């Protein structure tokens, strides 16, 4: 097993850490899981799956109008053709920010999130405060992120109540005409694709 | 269940605290709980709606006081016991006391597990599996109350009126799937609600909107 | 505030557990907190709506994990600090560090305190203080959302339609009283809601009813 | 000070008990309260104020039709004439159970209760479960109390959202014609006057 408890100094977590270690050992002993499989899946979600996936899609859409049209019209098929599919992302849709509409994504009931495009959600996305407030006071929540949406821009909050997972396509920043697709992808932030940042 | 997990519109949780660094896991035990859940999910001792239902059954005070992956752990331990794979005595003793029936639950190796997760779970049915009750553009009201066991119709939308902007397709029905009593496939709609229709004069901006994907069973015509 | 205190209609709290014996206080410290609250209320460092507001501001996880009289204690300590009567340093040190300005707050003895409590607090105004907006028998809808600070309009009634069965009289307005920004006297109505209009097809019996006393500001005509 | 910590063995309460004792001593030292006043008010609510007050009112209404009519028509004035008034009971109303209607009282937002008639509320009245469920599933809650209300009797749940406090007048049990007012009062239970018992 590659996991290492030497960094686990928080006394509050000690009980849980021990409980989890005991559970894993029990399940291995019973032949229900292998620690190798755990190591592999953890490593995959820590190293291969993350916001860079989503950023590459956004950048491609910024430079390729045909791709963008297909992406917005049929998210699942277009993303699957790029290899982006899988658990918690079987039905992903991309929604476009415009000068008139700012989009923002939440899951009020749990913490649904487009894993194949963004990886696992950040702590704040799972927080009670974000889940509670994003639908009722999105502009105040955006202010917590330092984002001010103009009064004449409509805010649309997407609550991920079913199995569709949403990715926000931010507006391409002005003055980026000279950048290539890879450079553009580097500009796109995770929060921008959740809708709590502008890029 | 109209439980503590149903957070939308609640007040009193303070500001959102964005953190620039995203470590995904704040402790090693979180990594292992995540891995265990994926590995056990991969050999299907449970489905995602059952998993959500178990998390929703965590008592309210405990729900608010446990970390995200602790909730997963609680649900996982419950499933292993419910499926007869692990006993409470084994969990208490941290030791194997009996051989579980692993027929059909043979553990997969890492590569096979990644393949399963990369494929995902088919939740959608052909569009003609069910006849849609509502057309795009229709005005609908969210029903007032639903099955106590599990549903995906948030409380802040109950009794509110919105407009169907998309018929997404035919999906299985979480309420019955969570209880293992049938998939009940039906149309899923994206419904758009004006902020003023949800929050009245307290809405931040009249032109703002909330959109939610709601199963046909959650809706009624206006 | 649409906070954790607003319990009506929530699920997941388990059965009610009636206890035959009624000890009123389960520990001696509960007696003392009750006594302190009455004694300090008697010399008016706060009003009942301010007190409720403070309890509603207890963070949700703490709200669910504290006993009833612990919530009183938390609110009481907050008031004593807010009014400049006690400092955080004094509470931490359990020792007096400065003389409070007790002008107008002289402690009353037991007999005088009982007389004050026996009289109660006048919350009602002459009926002609305000013109009622609604007549008995009128159909009204509860407004969707209210002032974030404090209100007495439960969330499970928001947006629901009921019938005014009594105009109780003119009372002060809890929302503004809780913030010390005015009494805003207005008519208070008993509104009757059919169970089916609150819980739809999940209502236990269509003929059952819920009645709530709602300030005029919480209501709108249908 | 008459209070006595010798019964306070619960280690969970130790911190709170110490905190409360320190607060009282601080407030006494600052001249804001006297322990004598606390002792007096605690003793009053422990010994003088309780469900027997409400029971005496119910019994009187059972034997005196004129009184009952006045009580139901103008609760506050009628009760005040009997000496029942005061904090958390400035505006008390009595609601009558009949074969057609069973009444039940809750406070979903806190734990409002008619102190002058019933004393301080029992723990279950303050519980999250009662506050949550009484309005949405009153018959299931009544079942927790062993009470079955017939299907053709309507259940009316009164949520004490404002300053009016409600007392339920149970139906007079059959076969009690021979009992006098005092004997009748002895039959009336606290739960009966909240609506979670039939008498």
Residues A59 and A91 in one domain: yes
Task: Please check whether residue D22 lies inside any domain of the structure.
Answer: yes
H/E element holding B54?
helix B48-56
Of C133 and C180, which is predicted with more confidence?
Answer: C133
Q: For residue C54, which residues of chain B lie inside 8 Å, CB to CB?
A: none
CA–centroid distance for A179 within its chain: 24
Residues A27 and A68 in one domain: no
**Residue to substitute from C4, C22, C160, interface D, most D β-carbons within 10 A:** C22
Range of the domain at D42: 15-47
Q: Which residues, 6+ apart, have CB-to-CB distance to C92 below 8 Å?
A: none
Q: Is residue D7 very low, low, confident or very high in pLDDT (cuts 50, 70, 90)? A: very low
The domain that holds A131 is classified in CATH as: 3.90.330.10
The catalytic residue among D2, D43, D110, D154 is D110
Say yes or no: D8 contacts chain C, CB-CB below 8 A.
Answer: yes
- Residue % of chain C over a pLDDT of 70: 99
A132/B109 Cβ within 8 A:
no
SS3 C113: helix
Supply angle C-alpha C49, D124, C42, rounded to 5: 30
Residues A128 and A74 in one domain: yes
CB C220 within 8 A of CB B196: no
Task: Please check whether residue A7 lies inside any domain of the structure.
Answer: no
Residues D56 and D84 in one domain: yes
The predicted model gives D131-149 an average pLDDT of 97
Mean pLDDT of chain B: 93
Residues D66 and D20 in one domain: no
Residues A33 and A90 in one domain: no
pLDDT at B147: 74
What topology is assigned to B127-221 in CATH? SH3 type barrels. (2.30.30)
Tens of pLDDT, residue by residue over A126-140, are: 999 999 999 999 999
**Residue C188 reports pLDDT greater than 70:** yes
Residues D110 and D122 in one domain: yes
Write out residues 145-184 of C within 8 Å (CB-CB) of D: 152-154, 156, 168, 171, 174
What span, in angstroms and rounded, lies between the C-alpha atoms of A154 and A139?
10
Supply angle C-alpha B34, B39, B43, rounded to 5: 145
Tens of pLDDT, residue by residue over B186-222, are: 999 999 999 999 999 999 998 999 999 999 999 999 9
Physical contact, D and A (3 or more Cβ pairs within 8 A)? no
Write out residues 36-65 of D within 8 Å (CB-CB) of C: 36-42, 44-46
Task: Please check whether residue A5 lies inside any domain of the structure.
Answer: no
Q: How many beta-carbon contacts under 8 Å exist across B and C?
A: 86
List every span in chain C annotated with CATH 1.10.472.20.
28-119
What would the DSSP string read from start to end of B141-154?
EE-S---SS--S--
Please name every residue paired with C193 in a beta bridge, in sequence order, or none if there are none.
Answer: C210
Structurally, how many domains does chain A consist of? 2
What span, in angstroms and rounded, lies between the C-alpha atoms of B32 and B29?
5
pTM of the model: 0.94
The catalytic residue among A2, A110, A129, A154 is A110
The predicted model gives C61-72 an average pLDDT of 96
Residues D104 and D32 in one domain: no
Physical contact, D and C (3 or more Cβ pairs within 8 A)? yes
List every span in chain B annotated with CATH 2.30.30.50.
127-221
What would the DSSP string read from start to end of D57-79?
HHHHHHH-HHHHHHHHH-HHHHH
Q: Which residues, 6+ apart, have CB-to-CB distance to C81 below 8 Å?
A: C87, C88, C91
Task: Please check whether residue A157 lies inside any domain of the structure.
Answer: yes
Question: Which CATH code of 1.10.472.20, 3.30.43.10, 3.60.110.10, 1.10.3720.10 fits the domain covering B28-119?
Answer: 1.10.472.20
Residues D61 and D43 in one domain: no
pLDDT at A35: 96
Backbone angles phi, psi at D117, to 5 degrees: -100, -30
What span, in angstroms and rounded, lies between the C-alpha atoms of B184 and B170?
10
Q: What is the dihedral of CA B170, B174, B176, B180, to 10 degrees?
A: 110
The predicted model gives A29-40 an average pLDDT of 95
Say yes or no: C126 contacts chain D, CB-CB below 8 A.
Answer: no
Write out residues 72-131 of A within 8 Å (CB-CB) of B: 85-91, 106, 108-111, 119-120, 122-124, 126-131
CB B144 within 8 A of CB C200: yes
Cα→Cα distances D128→C14, C70, D144, Å: 9, 15, 14
**Residue A3 reports pLDDT greater than 60:** no
What span, in angstroms and rounded, lies between the C-alpha atoms of C10 and C155?
10
pLDDT at C104: 81
Q: Is A111 known to be catalytic?
A: yes
- Residue % of chain D over a pLDDT of 90: 90
Residues A23 and A78 in one domain: no
Residues D101 and D183 in one domain: yes
Task: Please check whether residue D23 lies inside any domain of the structure.
Answer: yes
Q: Which residues, 6+ apart, have CB-to-CB distance to D174 below 8 Å?
A: none
What span, in angstroms and rounded, lies between the C-alpha atoms of D171 and D97?
6
Q: How does DSSP classify residue B107?
A: P
Exposure string for D124-155, b = 16+ CB within 10 A, e = fewer: bbbbbbbbbbbbbbbbebbebbebebeeebbb
Report the complex ipTM. Answer: 0.94
Residues A111 and A172 in one domain: yes
Tens of pLDDT, residue by residue over A70-114, are: 999 999 999 999 999 998 999 999 999 999 999 999 999 999 999
Half-sphere exposure of A3 (CA within 13 A, CB side): 26
Task: Please check whether residue A71 lies inside any domain of the structure.
Answer: yes
Tens of pLDDT, residue by residue over B93-130, are: 999 999 998 888 888 899 999 999 998 888 899 999 99
Q: Which residues, 6+ apart, have CB-to-CB distance to A178 below 8 Å?
A: none
Task: Please check whether residue A127 lies inside any domain of the structure.
Answer: yes
Q: Is residue B148 very low, low, confident or very high in pLDDT (cuts 50, 70, 90)? A: confident
Task: Please check whether residue D10 lies inside any domain of the structure.
Answer: no
**Residue D161 reports pLDDT greater than 90:** yes
A46/B16 Cβ within 8 A:
no
């Amino acid at each position: 097993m590659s996991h290492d408890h030497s960094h686990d100094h928080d006394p509050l977590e000690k009980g849980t850490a021990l409980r989890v270690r005991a559970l894993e050992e029990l399940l291995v002993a019973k032949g229900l899981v292998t620690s190798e499989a755990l190591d592999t899946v953890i490593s995959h979600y820590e190293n291969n799956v993350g916001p860079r996936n989503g950023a590459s899609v956004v950048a491609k859409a910024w430079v390729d109008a045909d791709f963008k049209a297909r992406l917005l019209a049929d998210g699942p098929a277009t993303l699957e053709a790029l290899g982006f599919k899988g658990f918690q992302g079987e039905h992903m849709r991309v929604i476009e920010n415009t000068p008139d509409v700012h989009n923002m994504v939440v899951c009020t009931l749990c913490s649904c999130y487009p894993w194949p495009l963004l990886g696992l959600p950040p702590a704040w996305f799972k927080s009670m405060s974000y889940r509670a407030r994003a639908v009722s006071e999105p502009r105040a929540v955006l202010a917590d992120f330092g984002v001010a949406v103009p009064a004449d821009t409509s805010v649309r909050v997407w609550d991920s109540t079913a199995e569709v997972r949403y990715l926000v396509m931010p507006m391409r920043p002005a003055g980026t005409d000279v950048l290539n697709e890879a450079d553009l992808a580097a500009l796109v932030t995770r929060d921008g694709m959740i809708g709590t940042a502008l890029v | 269940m109209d439980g503590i997990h149903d957070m939308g519109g609640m007040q009193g949780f303070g500001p959102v605290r964005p953190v620039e660094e995203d470590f995904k896991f704040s402790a090693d035990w979180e990594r292992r709980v995540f891995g265990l859940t994926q590995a056990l999910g991969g050999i299907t001792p449970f489905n995602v709606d059952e998993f959500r239902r178990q998390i929703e059954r965590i008592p309210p005070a405990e729900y608010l006081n446990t970390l995200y992956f602790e909730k997963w752990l609680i649900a996982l331990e419950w499933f292993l016991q419910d499926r007869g794979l692990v006993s409470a005595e084994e969990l208490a003793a941290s030791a194997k006391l009996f051989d579980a029936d692993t027929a059909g639950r043979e553990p997969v190796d890492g590569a096979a597990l990644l393949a399963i997760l990369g494929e995902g779970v088919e939740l959608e049915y052909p569009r003609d599996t069910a006849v849609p009750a509502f057309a795009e553009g229709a005005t609908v009201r969210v029903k007032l109350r639903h099955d106590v066991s599990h549903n995906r119709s948030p409380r802040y939308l109950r009794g509110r009126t919105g407009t169907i902007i998309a018929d997404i397709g035919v999906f299985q029905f979480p309420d019955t799937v969570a209880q293992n009593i049938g998939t009940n496939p039906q149309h899923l709609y994206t419904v758009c609600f004006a902020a003023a229709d949800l929050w009245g004069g307290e809405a931040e901006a009249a032109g703002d909107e909330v959109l939610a994907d709601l199963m046909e069973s959650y809706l009624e015509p206006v």
